Amino acid sequence: MKVLISDSLSEEGLEILRQAGLEVIYKPGLSPEELKQEISEVEGLIIRSGTKVTKEIIASAKKLKVIGRAGTGLDNVDIPSANERGIVVMNVPGGNTLSAAEHTLALLFAMARKIPQANASVRKGLWERKKFMGVELNGKVLGIIGLGRIGNIVAERALCLKMQVLAYDPFVTPDHASKKGIELVSLDELYKRADFITIHTPLTKETHHLLNKEAFAKMKKGVYIINCARGGIIDEEALHEAILLGKVAGAALDVFEKEPVSVDHPLLKLDQVIATPHLGASTVEAQKVVAVEIAKQVVDFLLSGIVRNAVNVPSISAEALKVLQPVLNLSEKIGLLSAQIAEGAIEEVEITYKGELARLEIKPVTLALVKGLLSPFLKEDVNYVNALFRAKERNIKVVEATTEETEDFTSLISVKIKHTQGETLVEGTLFGKKEPRVVRINGFRLDALPEGHMLYIFNEDKPGVIGKIGTILGKHRLNISRMYVGQDPMKKRNVILLSLDQSPTREAIADLEKEESVYLVKPLEL
């Protein structure tokens, strides 16, 4: 079998593949056209962040069984297309955490003391001591957006530098942060108080352009920004403007919306900006870890069918998977939906498997549910292998129970989420033993197919409200393909789930929120 490696990979990883008897085609830096050619005859593909595995590339891969990412982020892989073709996508979550955190600190120091600019000046034969006046880090406030693996290490190190550390992460409990000496605050407070802001979240719908014009306006004058996470999280045009206005004193960027970044990019014309070419994970140590680990995972999968760290397939045998697949799908959807409607940080998940489900092997089903629950916040950092571990790491208690008793259904998954703002209950079943159905949300009975772009609406049950919701969505050119209503006639409340042809825009959601009979609107991706 052949494995194509289209980004640079440490020799130790290549050796593991060769030793296992696989033919290694090592061609870092292929153009998309060349990649289409090369991929057509290989069973395995190993990449880093440089290769874009698009729908078209996947369509050209006639024999491909596995895509391995030597690193964490999988935003360069079209996972739905891989799913369609039954290609396993795996990564090495956490293998480069320390290196990315250290790179963040390197950028923090370099920016505070203008080291890259001073270095360039000295090399030009200049001795501009006044021009490169820096600022101390001691006593300054560091605001961390995203307190996950990298954010936590950056926080620990910054505290040793005697910085005051604030963090914003809606999915972390204040207790978890305060034990480490980190103050968990709202995003607005972080903007108001931080002298330095560093981003460590994945790129999601919520974090796309999180640092935009409005966000910069709320920050302290003279703030410094670091992005060592993902390019799209900062609106680059807004950052450019904020620097010109003097609001932002400096920015250190390891990542850009479009990589490789063009030399003509307006941000690169500004002295206040320092940049590195996505080097967060580029250390000898991290590259050895991720190369060795992904090579072992790809070998185990291609030669023995063992799946590890897959983001799109649970680690169970192919036969068991056939039987369990619909249940896993239901379970993951319930997890995804619960996470998106729950408010605040999750503290406990209580899962009860009822009726026929109580007789199944529930461990993979729980893993699928917890994966669904965490993936809106952790994206590809959570998979069918590490889901429970990642929940524990975040102090989320997972409780499982089974009962042969059923209510009106032959099988039911009932999930109660305890979060900082209360409790959320979601129940689901399989229709015709195959199709997932959500049958209860917080006491409201429904019969909803949880799939694709949806809207969750909680509203007053009175004549005309549903019509108004339809009109608003129509105004925003959003087509409703399915509608499910759960009523509580006593309290005159409704829960509505709408399936839409596309994701609702922020403007559409804001218009719905303005309706006085609408109490809550949440977009869902299922």
Ligand X SMILES: NC(=O)C1=CN([C@@H]2O[C@H](COP(=O)(O)OP(=O)(O)OC[C@H]3O[C@@H](n4cnc5c(N)ncnc54)[C@H](O)[C@@H]3O)[C@@H](O)[C@H]2O)C=CC1
Ligand Y SMILES: O=C(O)CCC(=O)C(=O)O
Cα dihedral 90, 96, 97, 103 sign? negative
Q: Can residue 51 be called a binding residue for ligand Y (CB under 6 A)?
A: no
Residues 422-461 close enough to bind ligand X by CB under 6 A: none
Structural element, H or E, at residue 183: strand 183-184
Residues 208, 231 contacting (CB under 8 angstroms)? no
Instruction: State the binding partner of 286 from ligand X, ligand Y, none, CB within 5 to 8 A by kind.
Output: none
Residue 228 touches which member of ligand Y, ligand X, none, C-beta under 5-8 Å by kind:
ligand X
Pick what 151 binds: ligand X, ligand Y, none; C-beta below 5 to 8 Å, kind-dependent: ligand X
Contact predicate 290/96, CB 8 Å: yes
CB 177 to ligand X: min, Å: 11
Residue 59 sits at φ, ψ, to 5 deg, of: -65, -30
Among 42, 100, 349, 465, indicate the residue that binds ligand X (CB under 6 A): 100
The answer to whether the CB of 302 falls within 8 A of the CB of 1 is yes
State which of residues 43, 381, 461, 511 lies at the interface with ligand X (CB under 6 A).
381
Angle made by CA atoms 400, 401, 407, in degrees to the nearest 5: 130
| Known catalytic residue at 209 | no
Binding mask 214-253 vs ligand X (x if CB under 6 A, - otherwise)? Answer: --------------xxx-----------------------
278 annotated active-site: yes
Q: Nearest CA to 229 among 96, 327, 134, 339?
A: 96
Please tell me the distance from the alpha carbon of residue 510 to that of residue 493, in angstroms, as a whole number.
Answer: 21
Token pair of 230, please?
């993902």
Q: Could you tell me where the DSSP H helices lie in 245-362? A: 284-304, 318-341
Which stretch in 66-74, 181-189, 396-404, 447-455 sits in contact with ligand Y by CB under 6 A?
66-74
Among 6, 10, 96, 152, binds ligand Y (CB under 6 A): 96
Beta bridge partners of 415: 351, 426
Smallest gap from Cβ 112 to ligand X, in A, equals: 19
Residue 231 contacts ligand Y per CB under 6 A: no
Q: How far is the CB of 382 from ligand X (least distance, A)?
A: 7
106 touches ligand X (CB under 6 A): no
Contact with ligand Y (CB under 6 A) among 6, 10, 51, 72 = 72
Q: Which of 149, 176, 230, 240 is catalytic?
A: 230
Which two structure tokens, joined as six digits, stand for 377?
Answer: 């916040």
Choose among ligand X, ligand Y, none what residue 48 binds, the Cβ cut-off being 5 to 8 Å by kind: ligand Y
Q: Where are the alpha helices (DSSP H) in 97-235?
A: 97-112, 115-123, 149-160, 174-178, 187-193, 213-218
| 282 in contact with ligand Y (CB under 6 A) | yes
In Å, what is the CA distance from 7 to each residue of 116, 298, 404, 414, 439? 27, 16, 51, 44, 46
Q: Is 85 a catalytic residue?
A: no
Tell whether residue 96 is a contact of ligand X (CB under 6 A): yes
CB of 287 to ligand Y, least distance (A): 8
Q: Which H or E run includes 447?
A: strand 444-448
Residues binding ligand X: number (CB under 6 A): 34
Rounded to a whole number of angstroms, the distance between the first and last alpha carbons of the chain is 35
Least distance from ligand Y to the Cβ atom of residue 42, Å: 20
Q: Where are any strands of DSSP class E within 342-421? A: 346-355, 397-403, 411-419
**CA nearest neighbour of 426 among 379, 369, 378:** 369
Residue 50 token pair: 């440089």
Q: Is 378 in the site for ligand X (CB under 6 A)?
A: yes
- Find the helix or strand (DSSP H, E) in which 261 lies: none
Q: Which of 51, 91, 117, 201 binds ligand X (CB under 6 A)?
A: 201
In degrees rounded to 5, what are phi and psi of residue 119? Answer: -60, -45
- Cβ burial of 118 (10 Å; 0-12, 13-18, 19+) is middle
Which position among 69, 149, 200, 278 bears the catalytic label?
278
- The partner in contact with residue 254, picked from ligand Y, ligand X, none with C-beta cut-offs of 5 to 8 angstroms by kind, is ligand X
Give the binding range for ligand Y (CB under 6 A) out of 24-32, 124-132, 275-283, 299-307. 275-283
> What part of residues 297-356 is at the interface with ligand Y (CB under 6 A)?
none
Instruction: List the catalytic residue out of 259, 348, 460, 525.
Output: 259
Binder among 10, 51, 91, 207 for ligand X (CB under 6 A): 207
Q: How far apart are CA 1 and CA 299, in angstroms?
A: 10
| Cβ-contact 91, 48 below 8 angstroms | no
- Which one of the spans 198-206, 267-275, 464-472, 491-499 is the region binding ligand X (CB under 6 A)? 198-206
Q: Does 494 bind ligand Y (CB under 6 A)?
A: no
Q: Which of 196, 377, 444, 458 binds ligand X (CB under 6 A)?
A: 377
User: Binding string, 353-372, against ligand X, x = CB under 6 A?
Assistant: --------------------
Residues that bind ligand X (CB under 6 A): 72-73, 96-97, 100, 145-151, 168-172, 200-202, 204, 206-207, 228-230, 254-255, 278, 280-281, 377-378, 381
Q: Catalytic site residues?
A: 230, 259, 278
Q: Which residues bind ligand Y (CB under 6 A)?
A: 48-49, 71-73, 96, 278, 280-282
